[in-house]
Structure 1
Amino acid sequence: MRVISVPHAFNEEELFVDLRPSLDCPLFLKCEGFNFAGSVKLKAATEMVEAAEQDGTLTPGSVLVESSSGNLGVALSVIAASKGYRFICVTDPRCNLATRLMMEALGSTVHVITDRHVPGGFLAARLAYVQELCEADDRCVWLSQYTNPGNWKAHYRSTAPAIARGFPALDVLFVGAGTTGTLMGCARYFRHWHRPVKIIAVDSAGSVTFGGAPGRRMLPGLGMSVPPPLLDRSLVDEAVIVEEPDSIRTCRSLARRGFLFGGSTGTVVSGAKDWLARHQEPGLTAVAIAPDLGERYLDTVYQANWVQALYGDDAGPQRPGRGPGRPDLLTDP
């Protein structure tokens, strides 16, 4: 029996899903959503908050402020509620309604930026507003997930070692790229491990992280409209770019097998499947990190009208090869 007194004291670290029966793909999925924040971001949030408390930046009476597309905002809301801090999350219209409601239920203030900056898009506008808040009130403390080393250290200390324990023969690790905190923490850990591990970053089309042209991105989580300061490209062996309709198809395909994951997870699994299909090496051990669960995406990724309005037929029925007896996505009940 495990008893806790604060929500961030619990995170299920050892759960993996074998995707071979579901997707006919030689891939194990590390599930990071089983905690009170529902995503991998609870680790980074805890690391950054506790480091700020230890160095005296964050004190009683401080007001936490952060820019987030959703998951980190929920994680900081959980911690702020537990520790008695006020928290202001600055987000944009892509943040799921369920995510915004969850932050507000936890007592946080959510400010939605509606005008995007060019260049830099919504992210640049969010960051500008956060800076305005900090300049206007010296109680405000901005943890800055985009530059804070605690973002990657959390995964160097927890996520990567858990994968190493579970898969001592690991060959390839697939990690989604947002702020690149998870990616950099795992990459740094495995760079010095006892055997070589190929690090494959998975990014969204329309993200500029790996040199792509900026474009529309409607799924929150992965991708950046400005280069992520935490990224060290020398630690990444390859980057796979995934179109959002492919992310949605993968999410819905997994849901048809009973696994309800979030949009970021759909992107990572889609990218991993594509890479593995092009590198069919016998005996390869591959793991991907699933950042989140799917309940917050019920009115977007899993809502046919939303998908149809944004992507049309591009995110429609799954492409040939879905297997006998499998339903067509979006069209079958």
Structure 2
Amino acid sequence: MVDVSLDVNGKTRRLRLKLESKNPFGSLKDRIAVSLIEHVADRIDKDIGVIESTSGNLGVAMSAECAARGVPFTAVVDPRTSVFFIDRMRGLGARVQVIEEPDAAGGFLLNRIRYVKEQLNIRPGLVWTNQYRSEANPNAHFESTAPELMRQVPGPATVLVPVSTGGTLAGLTRFVDATGADWRLVGVDVHGSAALGRTSGRRLLSGIGASCPSSFLDPATATVQYVDAAEAVSACLWLSEEAGIGVGGSSGATVAAALRMFRQDPEIDELVCLCPDGADRYRTTIYHADWRTAQGITTAGMGGAVVYRALGESGE
């Protein structure tokens, strides 16, 4: 955890960042990879292996986990997946298949999944870990992320959680239901995402949002903040410049939503943001001016939020 003290509209607030980039392979998905593979371990043929659709982070984590187990791994990605991820996965021994054709929903996810299903028919014995439907996804957060967060933030808290498959928010929600943890959970999604019931459309950022509804969440019961790509990118650059903390696009979206909540409600003194990964994997995209220009992203200030100190790290 890193605590950042802010002045927002003349009032001191505290932003608490849970930096999952500190995990061994650099992201929140490290936790999910282990859980997904353990869940199907008794079905894996070490001559045939495992396949999964990924926007990047899960592919890196699964490449590492499969390599450690001597299991072949195929990662199914799309053109939004950065060179960083593809090179890292291949460096860990994975086969990487890039799906170039957009799907009817305006993204690539549906066609990535279609390719996975085709491979299951072609290659008998191939195992799909299926992060989109496997209970091992939310269970990883119920058993690992949530208890760790409870140790780091033991009291009442409002926790902002970015949404892609919905597994993270679902796992934390189940933890609250099971333990009575005094957390208010707020999902953060991007415009164009269908993860929580909206109509799907074009999305620019990888690692947040989805072209189809989450199988783990009920849109009717979820509290959600929606942001656009420019807000998320602006928050990434702002946090890097003002506090020296580098985060990825989904984290930027979550920080942008937190700053909006601070501005809208002067009674909020503290917010916790779950930050799935770091800046290292977005040097050629979010943190590159030419990429931002090519995507038509004009960054903006963070509405008068001023960092006046970044406190030290705490936690595990």
TM-score normalised according to structure 2 size: 0.90
Is 1:221 the equivalent of 2:207?
Answer: yes
| Structure 1 residues 111 and 292, CA gap change in structure 2 (3 angstroms) | same
Structure 2 counterpart of 1:318, which letter? G
CA distances 1:27-65 after superposition (whole Å, capped 9, x unpaired): 211111112321000101101101211xx2224324110
TM superposition shift of 1:319: 5.4
Partner of 2:57: 71
Q: Which fold has the larger relative contact order, with Cα–Cα distance below 8 Å and residues 6 or more apart in sequence? A: 2
Does the CA contact (< 8 Å) of 1:187 and 1:235 recur in 2? Answer: no
| Structure 1 residues 84 and 31, CA gap change in structure 2 (3 angstroms) | same
Does the CA contact (< 8 Å) of 1:80 and 1:87 recur in 2? Answer: yes
- Displaced runs of 4+ in structure 1, greater than 6 A? none
Structure 1: gaps (5+ residues): 1-15, 326-333
Does the CA contact (< 8 Å) of 1:170 and 1:286 recur in 2? Answer: no
Partner of 1:90: 76
Does the CA contact (< 8 Å) of 2:105 and 2:201 recur in 1? Answer: no
Identity %: 33
Is 1:30 the equivalent of 2:18?
Answer: yes
Does the CA contact (< 8 Å) of 1:164 and 1:170 recur in 2? Answer: no
Picking from 301, 305, 309, the partner of 2:286 is 301
CA distance in 2: counterparts of 1:196 and 1:234, whole angstroms: 21
Aligned CA RMSD, in angstroms, stands at 2.0
**More displaced, 60-69 or 71-80?**
60-69
| Structure 1 residues 192 and 121, CA gap change in structure 2 (3 angstroms) | same
Partner of 1:119: 105
CA distance in 1: counterparts of 2:189 and 2:73, whole angstroms: 29
Partner of 1:12: none
Is 1:51 the equivalent of 2:36?
Answer: no
TM superposition shift of 1:19: 2.0
Structure 1 counterpart of 2:226, which letter? I
Is 1:310 the equivalent of 2:295?
Answer: yes
SS at match of 2:43: coil
Partner of 2:304: 321
- Trace 1:95-174 onto structure 2 (pairs within 5 A): 95-119=81-105, 121-174=107-160
CA distances 1:68-88 after superposition (whole Å, capped 9, x unpaired): 011111110110111111111
Picking from 19, 27, 32, the partner of 1:39 is 27
Does the CA contact (< 8 Å) of 2:106 and 2:202 recur in 1? Answer: no
Partner of 1:187: 173
TM superposition shift of 1:26: 2.3
CA distance in 1: counterparts of 2:135 and 2:145, whole angstroms: 15
TM superposition shift of 1:93: 0.3
How many residues align structurally? 304
**More displaced, 180-189 or 206-215?**
206-215
| Structure 1 residues 35 and 22, CA gap change in structure 2 (3 angstroms) | farther
Partner of 2:271: 286
TM-score normalised according to structure 1 size: 0.86
Partner of 2:311: none
Structure 1 counterpart of 2:304, which letter? G
Does the CA contact (< 8 Å) of 2:7 and 2:307 recur in 1? Answer: no
SS at match of 1:20: strand
CA distance in 2: counterparts of 1:271 and 1:97, whole angstroms: 28
Does the CA contact (< 8 Å) of 1:206 and 1:213 recur in 2? Answer: yes
Is 1:276 the equivalent of 2:259?
Answer: no
